[in-house]
Chains A and B, each alone.
Chain A
Amino acid sequence: MVIDLDKCVGCQACVVACKEENNVPHGSPEEQRSRREIYWHKMIAATKGKYPHVRTEIIPMPCMQCDHPPCVTVCPAKATFQRDDGIVAQYYRRCIGCKYCMVACPYGARSFNYKEQETRPYHHQDEPPDRESWAPWPFPTRTQGVVEKCTFCFHRIDQGLKEGKKIGVDVVPACVEACPSHARVFGDLDDPQSVVVQLLSSRASFRLREELATRPKVIYLSR
């Protein structure tokens, strides 16, 4: 995924779209205060300098889907693994909830699911209570006690591949689709014809915490 920070305005539509798509709860105010809210996709603002000479970078952070993921190395139950296409996926059935991956993730991409969503619903202020009215989606909930994170909407990608659609053009993750300024591009980094590769060769780019050599696959184009 390539995110153009020049076009990103910090509206956080990607954050909300991710929560809608994956049935991630918004979190009650109490959960926000105690930092238990689940963010599959978060947005940070990093400020340098002192007022009035301040520069702020607004950086959307999904799971970086690293090529060398530290979370996969430390998971004792092989619950998080790297798929062939490079997406780091979570196998909730195996997860024992030890939270070691949460400690090891350099980007804070992982969240612990504290309670069962079906029986004790999360704070969903504006959702229709009848979930059948939503579009069908294989993983509407996770069970209690496991760790969850952004999946690059692999359900959309797998469905798109089955139907023969072009990834990055017809099928994109929810955050890419929701961005109003088209700051985000999704595609195959191995395909030299894809838009992402062309974008990367056009401007200066950086990844977060590159010194840790995790080789994240979310690349930012600087302003």
Chain B
Amino acid sequence: MRGIAIVIEVLVLMGVLYCLFLAARLTILDVGFQSKYDRFVKWGLGIVGIMISAFFVAHLTLFYPKLLP
């Protein structure tokens, strides 16, 4: 039961993170960096996003409160 809740929460957080990073990437592109850096920005944010998601899995596994017995 707790496992399913953790999986759902991680998916929700990954969705939020994806939206935030997409916003960051679009802002960077709008501010004026040329599109030749798009791949660099995408990869950089992607790697950071994967690391943060892995950390979310660890943190929630450890600290998610015990649900109803």
Genuine A/B complex: yes
A143–B65 Cα distance when bound, in Å, is 12
Interface of B is mostly: helix
Distance in Å from the Cβ of B60 to the closest Cβ of chain A?
Answer: 14
Residues of B within 8 A of A116 (CB): 62
Residues of B within 8 A of A181 (CB): none
Question: Which positions 5-60 of chain B face chain A at CB distance < 8 Å?
Answer: none
Count of A-B contacts judged by CB separation below 8 Å: 3
Residues of A within 8 A of B62 (CB): 116, 144
A143–B62 Cα distance when bound, in Å, is 11
Distance in Å from the Cβ of A22 to the closest Cβ of chain B?
Answer: 22
Residues of B within 8 A of A144 (CB): 62
A116–B62 Cα distance when bound, in Å, is 9
Distance in Å from the Cβ of A143 to the closest Cβ of chain B?
Answer: 8
A116–B59 Cα distance when bound, in Å, is 12
Question: Which positions 34-79 of chain A face chain B at CB distance < 8 Å?
Answer: none
Question: Which positions 116-174 of chain A face chain B at CB distance < 8 Å?
Answer: 116, 143-144
A144–B62 Cα distance when bound, in Å, is 10
Residues of A within 8 A of B63 (CB): 143
Chain B minimum-CB-distance residue to A115: B62
Distance in Å from the Cβ of A186 to the closest Cβ of chain B?
Answer: 36
Distance in Å from the Cβ of B9 to the closest Cβ of chain A?
Answer: 18
A128–B62 Cα distance when bound, in Å, is 25
Residues of B within 8 A of A143 (CB): 63
A116–B63 Cα distance when bound, in Å, is 9
A144–B58 Cα distance when bound, in Å, is 13
Distance in Å from the Cβ of B53 to the closest Cβ of chain A?
Answer: 20
Chain B minimum-CB-distance residue to A143: B63
Distance in Å from the Cβ of B3 to the closest Cβ of chain A?
Answer: 15
A144–B63 Cα distance when bound, in Å, is 9
A221–B62 Cα distance when bound, in Å, is 47
Chain B minimum-CB-distance residue to A116: B62
Distance in Å from the Cβ of B12 to the closest Cβ of chain A?
Answer: 23
A51–B63 Cα distance when bound, in Å, is 54
A-B contact list, 3 entries, CB within 8 Å: A116-B62, A143-B63, A144-B62
Closest 3 CB pairs of A and B: A116-B62, A144-B62, A143-B63
